[in-house]
Amino acid sequence: MIERKEIIEVLSEYDPGNITIGVLASHSALDVCDGAVEEGFRTYAVCERGRERTYTEYFRAKRQNGKIIRGVVDSIDVYNRFNEILKPENQKRLRDRNTIFIPNRSFTSYCSIDAIEDDFKVPMFASRNMLRSEERGIEKDYYWLLERAGLPYPERIERPEDIDSLVMVKLPHAVKKLERGFFTASSYDEFKQKSEAFLKQGVITHEALASARIERYIIGPVFNLDLFYSPIEEEMSRIELLGIDWRFETSLDGHVRLPAPQQMTLNERQITPEYTVCGHNSATLRESLLEDVFELAEKYVEATRRYYEPGIIGPFCLQTCVDKDLNFYVYDVAPRVGGGTNVHISAGHPYGNMLWRTPMSTGRRVAVEIRRAIEQDRLSEIVT
């Protein structure tokens, strides 16, 4: 792991009056760039060839006398592969622009976690040492942290043979790098039937199936809690709820839209839905549940500060289910910008807007924190 003092040494050579906010051009990049532009920063996106036009053409920034009049992406580099950002000469390009880098899930999926921890010598607004915790199955993954934080999560079923009620089988998709090969089962026989079908279709692999996590299914709605922790806030709460989102998943949502008789006619390739995220929508919670949300966040933040010094910095997302008795269960954690924050772009979200009295997206809140740190000469406290 790159020591924080090394990153602070890099930061000491930056011009704080000319900071650029950089991001890998995928996932939540538009949210990050939009928020940065709103706070007066220049933006820099690193693209992969073949999927760059969203950033190089359709949302490219246009300025007149330095003032933005259209778009959000100022500067762009296009590489053959995302992981070329890790090359020393490309890291230098980031540093030469005084870039503070905002990691997203695409960054940690397409680039080696080892390299991000050990070789990526660019100041990141995030907890560098927590990015690995998102990888299920490692020794200190987010389940390890949830347990130590005393946070509720779905019960684990140790063996497929022990399945005695509806469960969710969690494993990666064999082809779609960012996606999941999840499926449900209510018995060992159903587990075998569905897993064999997915193996045959190439959706999952034998290796991934052998290490899959099986959890008792929580019946209830899903809420992604888009939260923020400020290490430099001195007067108000350091924990903020910026927004809540939920997902559109294919082909699950397609199944839900079909009447039961039509569902029964689906063939083997159609019958088991996939949980590929293709979009998000905004949500709110009844006010009586907000205390529970903040309790979850407080416990998580406290645990990160204890086990992952300096702890979480900036945005994070607790992905939850709520059961019939209004109990929350955390089924996934993103120690970074969440994938659903694009629902906040430009318009913000009721919670963030209400708190800051202006449209406040997650991307803009990131930029606000960087701006406040510059003004207070505390940039070193928010980067790793």
Per-residue 3-state assignment (H helix, E strand, C coil) for 2-53: CCHHHHHHHHHCCCHHHCEEEEECCCCHHHHHHHHHHCCCEEEEEEECCCCH
Largest CA distance in the chain: 67
pLDDT value, residue 181? 78
pLDDT in tens, 120-133: 999 999 999 999 99
Confidence (pLDDT) at 177? 64
How much is the pLDDT for 178? 64
Instruction: Give the per-residue pLDDT at 253.
Output: 86
Contact 141, 135 (CB under 8 A): yes
Q: Where in the chain is the domain with CATH 3.40.50.20?
A: 4-128+372-381
The pLDDT assigned to 137 comes to 78
| CATH architecture for residues 4-128+372-381 | 3-Layer(aba) Sandwich (3.40)
What pLDDT is recorded for position 334? 96
139-181 pLDDT, tens digit per residue, is: 889 999 999 999 999 999 999 999 999 999 999 887 766 677 7
Task: Using the predicted structure, report yes or no on whether residue 272 has a pLDDT greater than 90.
Answer: no
- pLDDT for the residue 135: 86
Q: 280 pLDDT exceeds 80?
A: yes
User: Does 255 score more than 90 pLDDT?
Assistant: no
Task: Determine contact, residues 163/188, Cβ cutoff 8 Å.
Answer: yes
Of 96-105, 256-265, 304-313, which gets the smallest average pLDDT? 256-265
Mean pLDDT for 75-98 is 98
**In the chain, % of residues over pLDDT 70:** 99
Q: Are strands 42-48 and 20-24 parallel, antiparallel or unpaired?
A: parallel
Name the phi and psi angles at 57, rounded to 5. Answer: -125, -60
Residue from 114, 111, 117 nearest 86 by CA: 111
- Across the range 69-84, mean pLDDT stands at 97
Token representation of residue 325: 């008795």
Q: What does the pLDDT look like over 284-337, one tens digit per residue?
A: 999 999 999 999 999 999 999 999 999 999 999 999 999 999 999 999 999 999
What pLDDT score does 254 carry? 83
pLDDT at 373: 98
pLDDT at 263: 87
Residue of 176, 182, 188, 314 whose CA lies nearest to 240: 314
pLDDT of 273: 81
Report which of 160, 165, 112, 101 is spatially closest to residue 135, judged by C-alpha positions.
112
Q: Average per-residue pLDDT in the chain?
A: 94
Among 149, 189, 145, 194, residue whose Cα is nearest residue 169: 194
Q: How far apart are CA 212 and CA 168, in angstroms?
A: 10
Is the pLDDT assigned to residue 252 strictly greater than 90?
no
Q: Residues 212-242: pLDDT tens digits? A: 999 999 999 999 999 999 999 999 999 999 9
pLDDT value of residue 205: 92
pLDDT of residue 260: 86
pLDDT the model gives residue 309: 94
Can you point out the beta strands (E) in the chain? 20-24, 42-48, 62-64, 67-70, 75-79, 99-101, 156-157, 167-170, 183-185, 213-216, 222-229, 239-251, 275-283, 314-322, 328-334
**What are the CA-CA distances from residue 338 to residues 28, 36, 246, 287 (Å)?**
7, 17, 11, 22
> Is the per-residue pLDDT at 356 higher than 80?
yes
Segments of the chain assigned to CATH 3.30.1490:
156-216
Q: Which residue has the higher pLDDT, 177 or 93?
A: 93
What CATH number was assigned to the domain covering residues 156-216? 3.30.1490
* Percentage, residues of the chain above pLDDT 90: 85
353 has pLDDT over 90:
yes
pTM for this prediction = 0.94
